[in-house]
Structure 1
Amino acid sequence: MDGSEVLNFGEFLIRRSDDMLELGLQHVAVVAISVALCSIIGIGLGAAVYRTDRAREVILAAAGVTLTIPSFALFVLFIGPFGLGATPVVLALSLYGLLPILRNTITGLRSVDPAVVESARGMGMSRFRQLITIEFPLAWPVIITGIRVTTLILIGIAAIGNVVLGPGYGELIFGGLARVGTPVGVHLVLAGIIGVMLVAVLYDIVLNLLRIFTTSKGIR
């Protein structure tokens, strides 16, 4: 861009600031809901299978297969049963984001020192209490890293959700692509990309703070 183009883009952002904020809040919300679903399912499945080799392999393989499905195709496939809008986007993102959380949950729980678990068992703790009070806190730094990776992946994929009229900055990007070759098209795409990047930075800061405040000082 030359100086005039940069100036014009700045003016464009100022004119569309309300849209940028609204779409940003939509993007943040759809990612937050998807990550919450991924975390509930991934952590739950990881805790259920981490001690069983065969079940663990099957679950990880199934979660891995979902990543081979092109995101564009998956969004379109979900139109039939779920229609247009946020619902198919959230469901597709939840499938795409499952593997990192699931894998890190299993890795984190399996990395807990067996001697610590044995000591807890010797004190008469039930298996569930061991998991909640001993294993999960020790595995948490690894688990939240998986949540962080999933979040950053889904922020980008969420933009593609506009193909099924999903919320977020994909509206600007796809609107710009529909006007390819025009100054307004370039501005729309750039605005969408910048918006996605800002959301990624915001989430990264929040999750890093969450990791710090939810991890015991002894294992940070």
Structure 2
Amino acid sequence: MDTLWDFVVARRHQLLVDSYLHVSAVVQSLIIATVVAVLIGIVVYRSPLGSSAATATASAVLTVPSFALLGLLIPLFGLGVGPTIVALVVYALLPILRNTIIGLASVDPAVTDAARGVGMNRLRVLAAVELPLAWPSILAGMRVSTQMIMGILALAAYAKGPGLGNLIFSGLSRLGSPNAVPQALTGTVLIIVLALALDGILLLVGRLTTSRGIRDRD
């Protein structure tokens, strides 16, 4: 335990930088994935065939191992941030897309009919009624995606990606040396702590952006 603490104290600046880069990559990927998934969900949610096709395509991507996907992306985007962000966005899509479709499809038709009855056009109904009602479901998908890509990002060290994965890979490659285990363990624990912190932030965002009426209904 003393060795672990000594390692954290000695490397605290680098640990802060790596933690920031890890969170930054996850947040950027999550935002991009959310925008893409919500747009796709809006397009397909009224069509059972379209919804099934979009969900099946996103599901198929999850069957591709992370190392394999990164290997396929490296020739296209090179090493570093490029393939990392693309891979994280691809993996984050499914939970958000699926929950967007479910959330939009579950909106009571009587509510949308009432909105149209007071003169709202299709876009206003979507923006002012359907998306706010579907938001808790979308946010739940975002939370799942966040936890998932926090771990996947650690594997992006294979493609020279940013974050704490480099710390873990470096420690595992030096097993037997005095700092190897503390290095790998520190990286792993920090990823878990950051994942829990981001989940807490998303919970807070949900409470601040969801009306009390919708929360009470759920």
TM-score, normalized by length of structure 1?
A: 0.96
Q: 1:36 aligns with which of 15, 23, 31?
A: 31
Q: CA deviation at 1:145?
A: 0.6
In structure 2, runs of 5+ residues without a counterpart are: none
* CA–CA separation in structure 2 for the residues paired with 1:192 and 1:142: 31
With 124-133 and 61-70 compared, the bigger mean Cα shift is at: 124-133
* CA–CA separation in structure 2 for the residues paired with 1:123 and 1:50: 24
Q: 1:27 aligns with which of 4, 22, 30?
A: 22
Q: CA deviation at 1:99?
A: 0.3
Query: Which residue is equivalent to 2:88?
Result: 93
Query: Which residue is equivalent to 2:206?
Result: 211
Q: CA deviation at 1:95?
A: 0.3
Q: Secondary structure at the match of 1:112?
A: coil
* CA–CA separation in structure 2 for the residues paired with 1:96 and 1:183: 35
* CA–CA separation in structure 2 for the residues paired with 1:156 and 1:7: 27
Report % sequence identity. Answer: 44
Which runs of structure 2 are paired with 1:93-172 in the superposition (5 Å)?
A: 93-172=88-167
Task: List, as ranges, runs of 4+ consecutive aligned residues in structure 1 with deviation greater than 6 Å.
Answer: none
Q: CA deviation at 1:200?
A: 0.5
CA contact (8 A) 2:3 2:179 kept: no
In structure 1, runs of 5+ residues without a counterpart are: 1-5
What root-mean-square deviation, in Å, do the aligned CA atoms of Structure 1 and Structure 2 show? Answer: 0.8
* CA–CA separation in structure 2 for the residues paired with 1:180 and 1:111: 52
* CA–CA separation in structure 2 for the residues paired with 1:38 and 1:144: 12
Q: CA deviation at 1:212?
A: 0.3
Query: Which residue is equivalent to 2:193?
Result: 198
| Paired residues, number | 215
TM-score, normalized by length of structure 2?
A: 0.96
* CA–CA separation in structure 1 for the residues paired with 2:178 and 2:188: 15
C-alpha distance after superposition, 1:53-103 (max 9, x if no partner) = 111111111111100000011111111010000110000010000000000
